[in-house]
Amino acid sequence: MKPIIGITSDIDENGDTFLLADYSRAILRAGGLPVVLPTGLEDIEEICNRIDGLLLTGGEDVNPLLFGEEPKRELGKIAPERDTMEMALAKSALAKDMPVFGICRGHQILTVSLGGTIYQHIYSDVEGPLLQHKQQADRNYPTHTVEVEEGSRLAEYAEGKEILVNSLHHQAVHDVRKPLVVTGRAKDGIVEALESTEHTFVMSVQWHPEALSNRADKTSLRLFEGFVEACMQD
Ligand code: MN
């Protein structure tokens, strides 16, 4: 049987539930059954008992109150209702050792759900010259390099020690807590990939592999295949 993958979604300006089709396309391509989880969902335990994997998607900035900070001037739009739901989903999934894949905002939600922190705006919070992490190019195209940690799960999927990724963020992971470890960094040191050393499959990336999958990027396709495969196991 194909595994059921719960995908978190957003609410747009019109009040409509919103999910970029690339996420569900990537899950379908990898052999999973995508199910959209609407923001506002409260039956977290019941949902987590029925899905086989959790995909935390991209979107708004993470509310800094969740990691003990006041909002800085540079903070972008936040989605408190979505934060509440996604934090609960992440914690429930982690407790069950259900496979979790976090993308962009999802990478940050995973970090915060395990006690870590986020840079609210890297261009004022991180010292030194930084790369362009909010690319001007179309999201389907990679623009910066990620150095992949040897021996990591990401390294198993990556095409070589360095991969090219797209980049559509102004926040980034700051403090990383166990059992998460950093498995990929941009050349300026920004954390671009994490995985858990204690779970069957818990990975997250700061970039958007669902968009790169449209151009048949091998690393991106393998990330989704690895995730869906992990969701098939009990
Ligand atoms: Mn980046």
What is the CA(108)–ligand 1 centre distance, in A?
Answer: 13
Say whether 104 is catalytic: yes
Asked if residue 215 lies in contact with residue 35, where contact means CB atoms within 8 angstroms, the answer is no
Domains along the chain?
4-232 (3.40.50.880)
What is the CA(144)–ligand 1 centre distance, in A?
Answer: 7
Annotated catalytic residue, options 48, 86, 104, 170: 104
Annotated catalytic residue, options 149, 192, 195, 210: 210
pLDDT by residue, tens only, the chain of 234 residues: 999 999 999 999 999 999 999 999 999 999 999 999 999 999 999 999 999 999 999 999 999 999 999 999 999 999 999 999 999 999 999 999 999 999 999 999 999 999 999 999 999 999 989 999 999 999 999 999 999 999 999 999 998 899 999 999 999 999 999 999 999 999 999 999 999 999 999 999 999 999 999 899 999 999 999 999 999 976
Say whether 231 is catalytic: no
Q: Is the pTM of this model over 0.95?
A: yes
Say whether 208 is catalytic: yes
